[in-house]
A = this chain, B = another copy of it.
Amino acid sequence: MSQPLKVAVAGLGTVGSGTVGLLEANAALLERRAGRTIVVSAVADLDRRDRGFSVDGYAWYEDAVAMAKEADVDVVVELIGGSEGAARAVCEAAIAAGRHVVTANKALIAHHGMELAIAAEAAGVTLAYEAAVGGGIPIIKGLREGLVGNNHRRIYGILNGTCNYILTTMQASGREFGEVLAEAQALGYAEADPSFDVDGIDTAHKLAILCTVAFGCTLDFDSIHVEGIRHVSSVDIAFAEELGYRIKLLGIAALTDNGVERRVHPCMVPLSAPIAHVEGVFNAVVADGDFVDRVVMEGRGAGERPTASAVVADIVDIARGQRVPVFAVPASRLEKLPAAAMSGHRGAYYVRLMVLDRPGVFADVAGVLRDHHVSMEAVLQRARAPDEPVPVVMTTHDTEEAAMVGSLEEIAAMAACVEPPRMIRIEPF
């Protein structure tokens, strides 16, 4: 019989409590599958409030870094969160002490994953982070192992459940962003400070990680073009419906002739694409491999129990002696690939203008687009209301981002244009 695997958990918030809960609830199952028992030996948190389970059997630390250094454990699970401070220090200390590290911390991996991976690989310990991307969806394992035979050309997904919940609810109810956000906050689906989620930063953290695992390039969070969903309006959602699209906040990474494109922004997704139907708090990741073609993985992207499922999968890998390079290839062999500038992105666009319905306005708009070599595919104008603002919606053929942005700057300066033009990229899935 193998020795038990001893685990320390740093941070007993939602995910930490869920992880301890899973390890206790499914202990017999895990023993059968891992071939050894997995025991929680130590926990660290600042307060000892009741979490619905007894912590009496565990060594208790207020100082998580001290626990990472001193506790008699094989694995340290970092569930504190944040890219700096205690979370980072715990992982560094654990690796330095020769202990395996499991974390759910996307910000930490996106910003410091390279140094941590190099340290872990040098120390011969695991650095695992399945829970950092897509919650319970086993996407990191899917890419590093299940789809390992493929060159990936593109990877994209719905990576933030809060945004997807808001967009789905806006679509179903016709209500505006602010109102739905407030409701999501009341329901606990959005944080009191929602900016990490709704401004796309959380999605960008996850995209940075996916991009590195899929393409074998170095982590490059700063090169990601990031837009959130605050500007998506119910008018756009209604037009999307009419045009056969759903609006989704996507993280997209692609290998192009200009380098690696990394972008986070609202997208028009055709209803024929599987991710158009991913609703509410669910996440989905789509990989395009040169042999496997399209693979979609969908599941709950956050929450106590789904995230605990991913954390425990990493722990069982360690218990079974499974080891793969942190980012699919050894960190020293990741390639520094050039980042493609967003201005060079090519694609189709949805544009909505709010203009005064006067003679000649549309001719002026069309002239600007012509001058920038932007070719229109379709124009929709529903209402006629002379001298009042009406929405004019256009879709374009493939065009260069710089031309589109330049056109919209000129159009925005027109006297008849009464609101900033809105543009949403159309993705050809």
Interface residues of A (CB under 8 A from B): 18, 22, 26, 29-30, 32-35, 130, 136-138, 141-142, 144-151, 216, 274, 277-278, 289-300, 305-306, 308-310, 312-313, 316-317, 320-325, 328-330, 333
Which of A130, A149, A151 lies at the interface centre, i.e. has the most chain B CB atoms within 10 A of its CB? A149
Cβ–Cβ contact A309 & B291, under 8 A = yes
Those 3 A-B pairs whose CB atoms lie nearest each other, nearest first: A138-B146, A149-B312, A136-B292
How many angstroms between the C-alpha atoms of A117 and B136 in the bound complex? Answer: 29
A-B contacts, 24 listed (Cβ < 8 Å) = A26-B149, A26-B150, A29-B151, A32-B216, A33-B329, A136-B292, A136-B295, A138-B146, A138-B147, A145-B317, A145-B322, A147-B309, A149-B313, A291-B312, A292-B306, A293-B300, A294-B300, A295-B297, A295-B298, A296-B299, A297-B297, A298-B298, A322-B322, A322-B324
Kindly provide the distance from the CB of A54 to the nearest chain B CB, expressed in whole angstroms: 20
Task: Enumerate chain B residues within 8 angstroms of A142, measured Cβ to Cβ.
Answer: 138, 141-142, 146, 297
Copy number in the complex reads 2
Task: Enumerate chain B residues within 8 angstroms of A321, measured Cβ to Cβ.
Answer: 323
Task: Enumerate chain B residues within 8 angstroms of A138, measured Cβ to Cβ.
Answer: 141-142, 145-147, 295
Query: A312: which of B137, B148, B322 is its contact (CB, 8 Å)?
Result: B148
How many angstroms between the C-alpha atoms of A298 and B26 in the bound complex? Answer: 27
How many angstroms between the C-alpha atoms of A149 and B216 in the bound complex? Answer: 28
Kindly provide the distance from the CB of A272 to the nearest chain B CB, expressed in whole angstroms: 8
Query: A313: which of B30, B130, B146, B290 is its contact (CB, 8 Å)?
Result: B146
Cβ–Cβ contact A149 & B30, under 8 A = yes
Kindly provide the distance from the CB of A171 to the nearest chain B CB, expressed in whole angstroms: 14
Task: Enumerate chain B residues within 8 angstroms of A136, measured Cβ to Cβ.
Answer: 147, 289, 291-293, 295
Known: A136-B295, A294-B299. A320 touches B324 (CB 8 A): yes
Which of A148, A151, A295, A308 lies at the interface centre, i.e. has the most chain B CB atoms within 10 A of its CB? A148
Query: A32: which of B147, B297, B333 is its contact (CB, 8 Å)?
Result: B333
How many angstroms between the C-alpha atoms of A150 and B310 in the bound complex? Answer: 10
